[in-house]
Amino acid sequence: MSIESAYQYLYLSAAIVLAVLVGIVLIRSVIGPRITDRILCINMIGTLVICIIAILALRQEEGYLVDISLIYAMISFLTVLILASVYIRTKNKPPEDGEKDTPSEGGKEEGHG
Amino acid sequence: MAEWIRFWIVAAILFAGIFCYVLEVIGIFRFGYVLNRMHASGIGDTMGLLLIVVALMIASGWNFTTLKLLLLIIFMWLTSPTSTHFLSMVEMNTNPYLDRYVRRREKT
Amino acid sequence: MRELFRKWMEGDQDPMESILDISMQADQSRDERKQITHEKRRMLSADPGSQERVEQDRRWFRKIYLAVAVISCISLSLVLLYTVSLMPRYGAENPRTTEVVSRYVEEGIEETGAVNIVSGMILDYRAFDTLGESHVLFTALVCVMILLRIDKKNQRTGYEDYYTIRSDSYFDLSRDPILPAMGRALIPCILLYGIYILLNGQNSPGGGFSGGAVIGAGMILFSAAFGMQFADRFLTLKLCNIVTFVSLAFYSFAKGYVFFMGANGLENHIPKGTPGAILSGGMILPLDIAVGCVVSVTMFGFYSLFRRGSIGMDVDYGRFASGGRKGKLTASSLKDSGKAKGTASFSKDPCKAKGTAFFSKDSGKAKAAGRKG
Q: Which residue has the higher pLDDT, C206 or C353?
A: C206
Q: Are C273 and C279 in contact (CB under 8 A)?
A: yes
List, for residues C17-73, the tens digit of each pLDDT value: 666 666 555 555 666 777 777 777 777 677 767 777 878 888 899 999 999 999 999
- The set of residues, in sequence order, having a beta carbon less than 8 Å from that of C313 and lying 6+ positions away, is C232, C236
Of B7, B21, B93, the CB nearest to A7: B7
Give yes or no for residue C247 having a pLDDT over 80: yes
The sign of the dihedral angle between the CA atoms of A58, A64, A67, A72 is negative
Q: What is the mean pLDDT of chain C?
A: 73
Q: For C156, list phi and psi in degrees, rounded to 5.
A: -90, 10
State the CB neighbour count (10 A cutoff) for residue B80.
Answer: 23
Give yes or no for residue C158 having a pLDDT over 70: no
Chain C residue with the nearest C-alpha to that of B89: C20
Give yes or no for residue C161 having a pLDDT over 80: no
Length of chain A in terms of residues written: 113
> How far is it, in rounded angstroms, from Cα B2 to Cα A3?
11
Task: Provide, as residue numbers in chain A, all residues whose Cβ is less than 8 Å from the Cβ of B75.
Answer: 70, 73-74
Q: With an 8 Å Cβ cutoff, are B34 and A25 in contact?
A: no
> How far is it, in rounded angstroms, from Cα C108 to Cα A67?
24
> How far is it, in rounded angstroms, from Cα C368 to Cα C373?
8
Confidence band of A85 (pLDDT split at 50, 70, 90): confident
| C181 Cβ under 8 Å from any chain B Cβ | no
Report, in angstroms and rounded to the nearest whole number, the Rg of chain C calculated over CA atoms.
29
Q: Closest Cα partner for B45 from B80, B71, B72?
A: B80
Q: Which residues on adjacent β-strands are paired with residue C20? A: A90
Q: Which residues of B touch C (CB under 8 A)?
A: 75, 78-79, 82, 85-86, 89, 92-96, 98-99, 105
Task: Provide, as residue numbers in chain A, all residues whose Cβ is less than 8 Å from the Cβ of C325.
Answer: 92-95
Q: What SS3 state is found at C313?
A: coil
What is the pLDDT, as a whole number, of residue C77? 94
From the CA of C300, how many Å to the nearest CA of chain B? 21
> How far is it, in rounded angstroms, from Cα A11 to Cα C277?
33
Helix orientation angle between C159-168 and C284-308, rounded to the nearest 10 degrees: 110
Confidence band of C340 (pLDDT split at 50, 70, 90): very low
What is the pLDDT, as a whole number, of residue A51? 93
At residue C227's C-alpha, the angle toward residues C225 and C229, to 5°, is 150
What is the pLDDT, as a whole number, of residue C71? 96
